[in-house]
Amino acid sequence: MQETRDRIIASAVELFEKKGYHSTTIQEIGEKAGVSKGAVFHYFSSKNEILFLIHEKFINVILNRAENVLKRSDLGTAEKLRELIVNLVELIAEYKPYVVVFFQEFKYVEQERLPLIKEKRDRCEQIYRRVLEQGMSAGEFRKDLDPDMVTKAIFGMCDWSHQWLNPGGRLTPREIGLTFWKILLEGIGRTQPDIDPVRRSMAINL
């Protein structure tokens, strides 16, 4: 049954998240899924294949979502970047166990299975970078910042959230994503107050 297979993967993700890949035994995965150790190997060729499938599943989801945002013709460039960020945080919240495994156990995916993951991960990163660069070209974002560093900063803020995000937190993932977007777009300096009409008119008068 497909069901058993999925249950095994689900068990593996949770255990890998909590205990790490190497500290999780096939035995435990089986037990949690309600099947024997042998059954796990009936469905998967090795423990490492399970790890790979977790990575693959997650990278596919993340890439699909990013591409969907990219396709939306109702959004401007800045709005696209905003949605990419919000989406990412939401997705990290939704797939948290997958994300943790993805970021913590990546190096243990066997060499031969790695290229597929790496390629999609790079494509995903490029989507973000391109939208950013488009926004810079279009004059929606300032041009004096290294686009590479900005991309890294975005991923840093979002990806790192897998370390502290918790499902029932005070803020929803969307709210968190929007906060990040605000910080990114406007900064935390007193930019807004500066735009208040009084000081501006004064400036003009001078």
Partner DNA sequence: CATGAATGAGACTTCATTCAT
Partner DNA sequence: AATGAATGAAGTCTCATTCAT
189: left (phi over 0), alpha (psi -120 to 50) or beta: beta
Nearer to DNA, 3 or 144 (CB): 3
Helix (H, G, I), strand (E, B) or coil at 21: coil
10 binds DNA, rule: CB under 7 A:
no
134 binds a second copy, rule: CB under 8 A:
no
| Binding-site partner at residue 151 among a second copy, DNA, none, CB < 5 to 8 Å by type | none
The C-alpha atoms of residue 153 and residue 122 are separated, in whole angstroms, by 16
18 binds DNA, rule: CB under 7 A:
no
Interacting span for a second copy (CB under 8 A) from 30-38, 57-65, 68-76, 195-203: 195-203
Place of tokens 């003009």: 204
Q: In this structure, is the dihedral angle defined by the CA atoms of residues 112, 118, 119 and 120, taken in order, positive or negative?
A: positive
Residues 25-54: x/- map of binding to DNA (CB under 7 A)?
xxx--x----xxxxx-xxx-xxxx------
Interacting span for DNA (CB under 7 A) from 20-28, 77-85, 114-122, 151-159: 20-28
164 binds a second copy, rule: CB under 8 A:
yes
64 binds DNA, rule: CB under 7 A:
no
Half-sphere exposure of 117 (CA within 13 A, CB side): 21
161 binds DNA, rule: CB under 7 A:
no
| Binding-site partner at residue 68 among DNA, a second copy, none, CB < 5 to 8 Å by type | none
The C-alpha atoms of residue 72 and residue 20 are separated, in whole angstroms, by 38
6 binds a second copy, rule: CB under 8 A:
no
CA distances to 66, 157, 184 from 126, rounded to whole Å, are: 10, 17, 18
Beta-carbon contacts of 7 under 8 Å, excluding residues fewer than 6 positions away, are: 33, 34, 35
Interacting span for a second copy (CB under 8 A) from 25-33, 38-46, 65-73, 187-195: 187-195
26: enclosing H helix or E strand: helix 26-33
The residue type of 149 is M
CB of 15 to a second copy, least distance (A): 13
Instruction: Kindly list the residues in this chain that would bind DNA in the complex (CB under 7 A).
Output: 1, 4, 23-27, 30, 35-39, 41-43, 45-48
